[in-house]
Structures are given as structure tokens and as C-alpha cells.
């Protein structure tokens, strides 16, 4: 697969290559080929976690691997996509820009407005599409950088009447963003699906415990309650205690 990707990356424009990754992923997903792969377990299970009238915040929408699924489910709701990298945002706009239930924002999230440097890791001359990150440290010579706009997350959702689900995958920057999101989480009590780096794990467990959330995970394709320690690698799922009953009634 790596060899095929390298060949495609060398013969296609970057934009065409990224579009092809999106198309290929959804072809495999829709055919059910990825269903037994634990790496993609949330792509299937979100159908049990989200309702058609939900408002979803997708932080780190990347190439739309979750965003399109969210859009399909929330026919009477809304998907707010955050993607700072212009290369990835162009792909999001191409596939989802005309969807009436999708709002796209080409920004990063943080405490204060301004700009920040994002790193696009490179390997064998190709972009590692799932691993862009914000960094103030020295950059490897073969990696690429991009200056992106940064805004406070509350400015993008302050007019939303509700917020039902947050998905976040931003490669280690999640703790900074969620400290800013705390007022919105306290107000709306959304279910939260989040990739957490090891350095931030204790902070998040304490953070959600303080907000009276329970931690769940997906093990063998089943949603189970966990207690801060995962039984199978993947995103963490936090559910407010006040919504536990309805949450348990929707899962299988």
C-alpha cells in the first residue's frame, strides 16, 4: 500500500492525491471492508451515537473522514468542521462545501486570535496526512510548515442553540482547546469523542470527572464503560452522567 501511495503521490497533483484518499476511504467504508478493523471502529459506531437533528463539532476535520459521515447522519442538524490546513480544507470544501448542514472553518483553535505554525510531517517524500500538529519547537528539515489563523473556539459556537457531539483529533493540542471549550461543555453537555496524547491523559480524566462525565470506549466493536484506562487503543468517549440512560438505550 505504501508503494502504491508513493507512486500516486509522485504522478498526481497534491490536491488530486488528497481527493483520491478521501474517495478511496469512503469507497472502502461504504462497502463494509473496514468494518472489522478496530482502527476505524468509531467510523461505524458514530451512527449509534449521533441523531439526525444533532449539532456536531468536528475539530481537526482533516480530509473529511468523519465529517462526511456526520453530514449523512445529521440531515436535520448541523456539522461544524474545523480544519486549519488549506490543503485539507480545500478537500473538505470540494466534497462538503455545498452541503446545507455543513459549516466549514479554515482555522485552528486556541486561546487567543492570531497565527500559529503547523507542521506537516513528511515520510519518504509524502505527507503523513493524519499527523499535522502545532509546534513552537525546532522543525525537522524534511517536514513542511504552514502558518494558519487561530481563533478561540467559543467564537465559532456562541450562537448555537445546542451542541450534541464533539469529535476532536488535533495531535497533542487538545488540552489547550478544551480548556477554552469548558463553558460550552458545561452548558450543552455534549458527548465527546477525542484522541488524547499520553501527556494530556490525566488532565482530561480529571477534567471530565469534574464535569460529572463517564468514560467509555469501544472494545471488540462494542461500547463499554471504562475508568480512565483503555482496554483497546482508540479515541476516548466521554458521556455526561445526566445523559447516561438515553446513551445506553441507543447503543448496541
Quick: pLDDT tens for 110-142: 998 899 888 887 766 667 666 666 665 555 656
Choice between 155 and 251, residue whose per-residue pLDDT is larger: 155
Q: What is the pLDDT of residue 130?
A: 64
State residue 7's pLDDT score: 74
Give the per-residue pLDDT at 146. Answer: 86
For residue 114, give the 3-state DSSP assignment.
Answer: strand
- Within 10 Å of residue 249's Cβ, how many Cβ atoms? 7
Domain hosting residue 117, numbered range = 2-250
The CATH number for 204's domain is 3.40.50.150
Tell me the mean pLDDT in the region 161-179.
95
CA dist 252 and 234 (Å) reads 18
**What does the pLDDT read at residue 11?**
79
151 has a pLDDT exceeding 70:
yes
Buried b (16+ CB within 10 A) or exposed e, 125-135: ebbebeebbbb
3-class state of residue 94 by DSSP: helix
Q: Predicted confidence band at 248 (pLDDT cuts at 50, 70, 90)?
A: confident
pLDDT value at position 77? 98
Instruction: Please say whether the beta carbons of 111 and 176 come within 8 A.
Output: yes
Q: 166 to each of 120, 123, 163, 184, 191, how far by Cα in Å? A: 24, 30, 8, 11, 6
- State yes or no: pLDDT of 12 exceeds 70: yes
Task: Note the pTM of the prediction, 2 decimals.
Answer: 0.92
- Using the predicted structure, report yes or no on whether residue 213 has a pLDDT greater than 80: yes
Residue 164 burial (10 A CB sphere; 0-12, 13-18, 19+):
buried
> What phi and psi, each to the nearest 5 degrees, are found at residue 177?
-70, -40
Higher pLDDT, 140 or 34: 34
Whether residue 180 is predicted with pLDDT greater than 80 in this model: the reply is yes
The predicted model gives 201-211 an average pLDDT of 96
Total count of domains within the chain: 1
Binned at pLDDT 50, 70 and 90, residue 228 comes out as confident
Amino acid at each position: 500500500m505504501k508503494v502504491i501511495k508513493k507512486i500516486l503521490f509522485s504522478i498526481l497533483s497534491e490536491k488530486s492525491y488528497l481527493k483520491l484518499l478521501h474517495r478511496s476511504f469512503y469507497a472502502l467504508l461504504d462497502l463494509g471492508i473496514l468494518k472489522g478493523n478496530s482502527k476505524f471502529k468509531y467510523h461505524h459506531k458514530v451512527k449509534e451515537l449521533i441523531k439526525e437533528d444533532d449539532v456536531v463539532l468536528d475539530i481537526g476535520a482533516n480530509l473529511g473522514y468523519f465529517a462526511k459521515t456526520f453530514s449523512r447522519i445529521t440531515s436535520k442538524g448541523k456539522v461544524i468542521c474545523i480544519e486549519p490546513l488549506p490543503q485539507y480544507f480545500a478537500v473538505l470544501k470540494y466534497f462538503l462545501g455545498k452541503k446545507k448542514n455543513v459549516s466549514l472553518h479554515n482555522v485552528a483553535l486556541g486561546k487567543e486570535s492570531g497565527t500559529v505554525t503547523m507542521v506537516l510531517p513528511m515520510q519518504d517524500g509524502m505527507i503523513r496526512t493524519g499527523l499535522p500538529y502545532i509546534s513552537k519547537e525546532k522543525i525537522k528539515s524534511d517536514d513542511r510548515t504552514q502558518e494558519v489563523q487561530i481563533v478561540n473556539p467559543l467564537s465559532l459556537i456562541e450562537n448555537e442553540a445546542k451542541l450534541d457531539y464533539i469529535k476532536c483529533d488535533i495531535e497533542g493540542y487538545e488540552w489547550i482547546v478544551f480548556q477554552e471549550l469548558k463553558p460550552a461543555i458545561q452548558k450543552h453537555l455534549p458527548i465527546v469523542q477525542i484522541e488524547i496524547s499520553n501527556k494530556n491523559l490525566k488532565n482530561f480524566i480529571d477534567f471530565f470527572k469534574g464535569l460529572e462525565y463517564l468514560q467509555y470506549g469501544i472494545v471488540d466493536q462494542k461500547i463499554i464503560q471504562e475508568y480512565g484506562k483503555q482496554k483497546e487503543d482508540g479515541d476516548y468517549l466521554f458521556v455526561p452522567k445526566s445523559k447516561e440512560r438515553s446513551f445506553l438505550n441507543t447503543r448496541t
